[in-house]
Structure formats: structure tokens, C-alpha cells
Amino acid sequence: MTTEQNRLNPEKLTPTDRSQIKRLPQRGEYDRQVIYQILDEGLICHVGFEANGQPFVIPTAYGRIGDRLYIHGSPASRMLRTLKKGIEVCVTVTLLDGLVLARSAFHHSMNYRSVVVFGTATWVESEAEKGEALKAFTEHIIPGRWDEVRQPTPQEVAGTLVLSLPLTEASAKIRSGPPIDDEADYALPVWAGELPLKFMALSPIPDPRLTLDVPIPGHVENYGRSM
Amino acid sequence: MTTEQNRLNPEKLTPTDRSQIKRLPQRGEYDRQVIYQILDEGLICHVGFEANGQPFVIPTAYGRIGDRLYIHGSPASRMLRTLKKGIEVCVTVTLLDGLVLARSAFHHSMNYRSVVVFGTATWVESEAEKGEALKAFTEHIIPGRWDEVRQPTPQEVAGTLVLSLPLTEASAKIRSGPPIDDEADYALPVWAGELPLKFMALSPIPDPRLTLDVPIPGHVENYGRSM
């Protein structure tokens, strides 16, 4: 089984029938490092699952610890209750890097990096793993925050449903670089190139109820500087 | 049928069982104007469907014309070939507006606007509608571009598969504003607030093969100024 091979191979995932990039295979990547970097840079994943014959795609936050992806929410969440049963799930993270502006309408494209993960989720019941996952969620969206905020109470931990998904069956798809035009079109007097897009933090907005004289911490002030 | 009502009601969609926001219903929005604004601002949608018992979530570009959402690609695309059969699909667009930094780890959140559309896609065979859709794809990613580039040839039109999805069963979910902390936590000396995030265009990168002296057009130079 290829997923079994993937558990044993730390560097590169072996594509399975569902994780293999079939359209434009030259854009496919199976290196764990490439896949994990995309997962670590993203903030939102889109979780796909079926319930009552209907596909759902729900955006949610996530975290990664080693070879596992974690999602969480209220125990009342329909998505989490459905996934907890162990049904097949597909989790996709997409980073849009820019617009690809060709000389012809037909060759317009986008530069992007995406990861698609297949598998079944496991309910995280261990207190220790759950604690690590909760820390990972906070540190994923804003590194350095966990140690500066109030830690979860036992009631809050109990009131959070955490699921984990093994990163054994996954692939990345990447497009980068300039447009690829038809040879004849390069002679056209049309501007062509890339318009890079970047997700950037604006100035922090203090909570109106922040009455104490608390300075903006470095992890907020410098957010994304290394992104 | 509520979807039938939705065809007749131009202002507000009636939630159906699958489009109704169940968790945190106060975040649900069914106004067409709100839904369409989110669709028009996004660049990538995540398309969810099932094939062989496996859910897939695939990122792709899209366009909107009136009350229909359009996606397109190669006739060889597994996603498009599968959806062309008229199976149930879920299309989700998510705009991340910022990080919500609370005083407790538990109340961290994100500000976002998302739209989820349910339905079945229709293969666009009419040449006229297909032409309008191709224009909508280009104008959606960068308004003003269509008129300045080489238009599609009949071969390119024939080589593009276009599907349309009616916007009759959809909902938006929105979170905005500061964190909501537990009352006791407001006394903690922890900085709290919002860190707004914005998708911004950087300087255009001319195609290395751009040998002619073509100035950067206004629709590229001023991209996103009104976003």
C-alpha cells in the first residue's frame, strides 16, 4: 500500500491514485518539505466531506504538528461531528501568489501553491495531544502568542473538539513564473507579465475594551515580517 | 420549494436545509448583494464534489454573471468532467479579513467573509453564453484586461469546457470586529485586538520575453486600488 510506504518514507510521499496530479503533472510536488511549507504558510484550509449525499466545503483554521494536520471547533459543529465518524475527507490549502497576465485571454492564469490532503480524521482524546494541538492552532495563526495569553481551562479544553488527519496521502500543485503565450502572440503589442499578490498585515486595531496601558507586543507588531 | 422561491426573489435567498447557517446563526447572511460582493472580491473558489466515494476539494478561478457562477478549464479536467454529469457540488469562496487576538487562547478567532453555494452545474454549450463567460473570467481577475488582449480563437473556445452554477441556494457567513473575551479576562494585562490582513498587489513583473516597448497599462498599474 502506498499510504503505508508513505508512513515509512520521511522525505517524499508516493502519489496514490487520488493524490496524484493528473492534469499538468509537471506542477505536482510530493516532497514533504514543500507540502509542509505550504501548510505552514496558509491560515485557512477548506475541508471537504459528504453528508447525506451532499458535498460540503467548509473553511476553517488548522495547525500542523509533525506529520499530522489538526482542526478543531465546537462539539456542536456539524462538520466535526460528521468527520469524527471516520469518513473520507479532503483538506485543501491554497496560497495565491499572483496573476499571470498573458497576451491572449486564453493563456491568462494564476500563480499559486496548493496542497490537497486525503484521508480519514481521528478524534483526539488524549489530553496531552489535545493540549499540543490547541497550542499549535494559536501558534499557527500568530507565532509567539501562546505564551502571552491566558491558557485554556479544563472546561475550555473539554469544550473543544479536536480532530487529526495523518499527512500520508497528499500532494502539492504549484505554478510560478511568467505567462506562456503562443509563439505568434509574443509579437503582439500587449503588456504581459506577473502581478504578484501578497497577504499583508495592516496596522493592529486595539480592542476598544483595552483600557489597561498594554503595549502592542512584538509578535503582533512584527507579524508576517518573515513571511 | 425554497430554491424555486429563490429564483423568484431577487433580493434575499431563502435558506434551505443545507444552506442555512446552523452554528452561530447570527453570522449568517442571505442577501444576494452581500453574497455577490464576496464572490466578486474573491479570486479563487474551492469546488467540492464526490467521485468514487471520495470527496475532492479543488481550487479554481471563477467568474460571475448575474445569478450564475461560472468555472472553466480543459475538457480533460477530472473535476469538470465529473461535474458535467450534473452531480451535487459545493463551491466555497473565503476572504480572510484579519486575525482576532483575544486575551485567552480559547477566544482567538479570525475575521472572514465566506460564501457557500450548493447545486448542480450545467454544461455551457451556447457559443454566446460561453463567450460571455470567458470574458467574465478575465475581467474577474483583472478588470479592464479583456479589451486589451488577443480574444479567443474558435479553437480556444472549443478547447475550453465551461460550467455554470445557479446562485439560488447559497449563504454567506461573516465575522468582523474585536475579540469577545470572557468578562473576567478583560482585566488581564494582555494586548488584544484585531490584526487586519489584506491581499495586496506588489509591483508588476514584466515578462522577460516582453521585448517591445509596451508601457504597463492602467488596469495593471492601478490593480486593486478600489478593493
> B106-162, pLDDT tens digit by residue?
999 999 999 999 999 999 999 999 999 999 999 999 999 999 999 999 999 999 999
Which pLDDT belongs to residue B8?
52
Residue A198 sits at φ, ψ, to 5 deg, of -140, 140
For residue B146, the distance in angstroms to the closest alpha carbon of chain A comes to 7
Residue recorded with cell 484521508:
A119
Which pLDDT belongs to residue B22?
81
For residue A77, the distance in angstroms to the closest alpha carbon of chain B comes to 6
Which pLDDT belongs to residue A227?
46
Q: How many CA atoms lie within 13 A of B105 on its CB side?
A: 25
- pLDDT higher than threshold 60 for residue A2: no
Which pLDDT belongs to residue B115?
98
Which pLDDT belongs to residue A132?
97
Which pLDDT belongs to residue A29?
86
**Amino acid at the residue B23:** R
Which pLDDT belongs to residue A10?
65
Of A110, A202, A208, the CB nearest to B198: A202
Note whether A112 contacts B59, CB cutoff 8 Å. Answer: yes
Residues of B in contact with A219 (CB under 8 A): none
Least confident of A12-16, A115-119, A188-192: A12-16
pLDDT level of residue B28 (50, 70, 90 thresholds): confident
- pLDDT higher than threshold 90 for residue B193: yes
Which pLDDT belongs to residue A225?
64
Residue to test with chain B: of A116, A165, A191, A221, most B Cβ within 10 A: A191
**Rounded-to-integer distance, Cα B60 and Cα A165, Å:** 24
> What are the beta bridge partners of residue A92?
A46, A116
Least confident of A39-43, A153-157, B3-7, B63-67: B3-7
As a whole number, the mean pLDDT across chain A is: 93
pLDDT level of residue B1 (50, 70, 90 thresholds): very low
CATH of segment(s) B2-221: 2.30.110.10
DSSP state for residue A216 in the 8-state scheme: P
As a whole number, the mean pLDDT across chain B is: 93
Compute the C-alpha angle B113/B119/B121, nearest 5°.
110
Which pLDDT belongs to residue A36?
97
Residue A117 sits at φ, ψ, to 5 deg, of -115, 135
Which pLDDT belongs to residue A9?
59
For residue B115, the distance in angstroms to the closest alpha carbon of chain A comes to 9
| Mean pLDDT, range A87-108, rounded to an integer | 98
Residue B137 sits at φ, ψ, to 5 deg, of -60, -45
Which pLDDT belongs to residue B213?
87
Domain positions in chain B:
2-221
- Rounded to the nearest angstrom, the gap between the alpha carbon of residue B36 and the centroid of all alpha carbons in its chain is 9
| Four-point Cα dihedral A191, A196, A197, A203, nearest 10 | -110
pLDDT level of residue B7 (50, 70, 90 thresholds): low
Which pLDDT belongs to residue A7?
58
Residue recorded with cell 499572483:
A98
Which pLDDT belongs to residue B64?
98
Note whether A201 contacts B205, CB cutoff 8 Å. Answer: no
**Rounded-to-integer distance, Cα A205 and Cα A227, Å:** 21
Residues of B in contact with A134 (CB under 8 A): 105
Which pLDDT belongs to residue B58?
97
| Mean pLDDT, range B193-220, rounded to an integer | 94
- pLDDT higher than threshold 50 for residue B36: yes
CATH of segment(s) A2-201: 2.30.110.10
DSSP state for residue A150 in the 8-state scheme: B
> What are the beta bridge partners of residue B83?
none
- Rounded to the nearest angstrom, the gap between the alpha carbon of residue B4 and the centroid of all alpha carbons in its chain is 23
